[in-house]
Each structure stands twice: as structure tokens, then as C-alpha cells.
Chain A
Amino acid sequence: DIQMTQSPSSLSASVGDRVTITCRASHNINKQLNWYQQTPGKAPNLLIYGASNLYNGVPSRFSGSGSGADFTLTISGLQPEDFATYYCQQSSSSLRTFGQGTKVEIK
């Protein structure tokens, strides 16, 4: 199966900061990469599909890029509601896999 590795595992940032999270796949997954946001006690929410496309209603401060095996999620101008855990997930293989998550905490 395809392994997904996120970095960092956690980070501290302030409101207004620009934050970048990376996700690396163990195989070429083209652009079959999604990003999710999860707040404590809640189900994950889809943020970005196909590596760079914002899902319905997601603010434009979120952006995604990459293809092949290396991907990034960027939050430009961190807002209080963005402090959460973020997961990448590949849909290239029928056996889906998630990254281990990146927790964005308040500095």
C-alpha cells in the first residue's frame, strides 16, 4: 500500500501567520491527493481535493499544490478557527491511506 508521510507532526503559529504543511507519498500518486481539517471531537472536513482544488465553501486562504509524490497545504493568514489537525489522504490506490496528521497550535 501507499504510505503517506506528513511534516511537521505539529507546529505553533500565531493568528495572521502563513503556515505550510507537507505530505509525501511513497509512490507517484499524480494529483490524487486530498486534505482534511479536523477539530477536537468532530469528524474531519474535506478542504482540498485533487491536490489543489478548494472544496465547496472552503475559504480562499487555504491552498494546495504539488503532484507526483510531494504536496503542500498552505494557510495564508491563519485565523482562530484554523487551529486544528490536518490530514492528507491519497485516492490513487484502491487501498486508501491517510498521513499521520499535523496539529496546528496557537503560539
Chain B
Amino acid sequence: QLQVQESGPGLVKTSETLSLTCTVSGGSISSSRYFWGWIRQPPAKGLQWIGNIYSSGNTYYTPSLNSRVTITADASKNQVSLRLNSVTAADTAVYYCARTLGYCSATSCAEAFDIWGQGTMVTVSS
């Protein structure tokens, strides 16, 4: 059973870099069958997709964070990492790592976040 676990500092100072790691067990992050995403949720707010990384190494980021975010993968450690530069209080959130897998039925196909980590709370403060 594939499992996902986020880790990293719970407190980051304003203007510094937020760095989180997603450790995957029970499966390889390099499989071409699926890919990986980061999603965040500010306190009492909704979900915001941050970005995805594919087995090819290609990445896609939400436009509002594109200039500050980097997602990388380390196959030797079976980890996916998130870096967010120049953080402010607005980056305070629970950060989730999730697997994306394509699902098909007789009528439709879609790629969905099917396995999520428990999330890690990051507070940005001076």
C-alpha cells in the first residue's frame, strides 16, 4: 500500500525559503503510471493547487506562485520536494503532497489526486 508523508520545518521566517519533503513508501516515485503534486490550504480556507512533477521531470506550477516555487524529485531517496522562496504570512498553510493517477471508466477518464499525505502545517512569521 503506497503511503505519503510530508515533513519540514513548522515555522519559517518572513522572506526566507520554505522547504518541504514528501517521502513515499510502498511504491516508486519514478513510475510512469502516476505523478506527484503539492496542494496547500491556508487556515479556514480552501484548497490551492501548487504544482505537479511528472516522471519525465517536467513540472507545472500555478501562475500565482510560478516565480517563487520549485518542485523536484529524488528517485534515490524516493522523495518529492517543494521549495517556495520569499515567503510571507500569506504562505501560512497546511501543505499536502498527493499522488495523481489516471482513472478510466466506460464513459470517461480523469487524473485525480487519489493518495494524500496527512499534511504539514507551516507558519510564516517574523
Contacts and interface: CB of A to CB of B under 8 A. Distances in A.
Interface of A: 1, 30-34, 36, 38, 42-46, 49-53, 55, 87, 89, 91, 94-101
B52 A91 contact: no
Contacts of A53: 103, 105, 107-108, 110
A33 B113 CA distance: 11
5 contacts: A32-B111, A49-B110, A95-B61, A98-B39, A100-B46
Interface of B: 37, 39, 46-49, 52, 60-63, 96, 98, 100, 103-105, 107-114, 116-119
B49 A43 contact: no
Given A1-B63, A96-B52, A98-B49, A55 B114 contact: yes
A33 B110 contact: yes
Given A43-B116, A95-B62, A96-B37, A50 B47 contact: no
- In this complex, the member of A43, A44, A95, A100 whose beta carbon has the largest number of chain B beta carbons within 10 angstroms is A43
B103 A98 contact: no
Given A46-B114, A99-B46, 10 more contacts: A1-B62, A42-B118, A43-B96, A50-B103, A50-B104, A53-B107, A89-B113, A95-B61, A98-B46, A100-B46
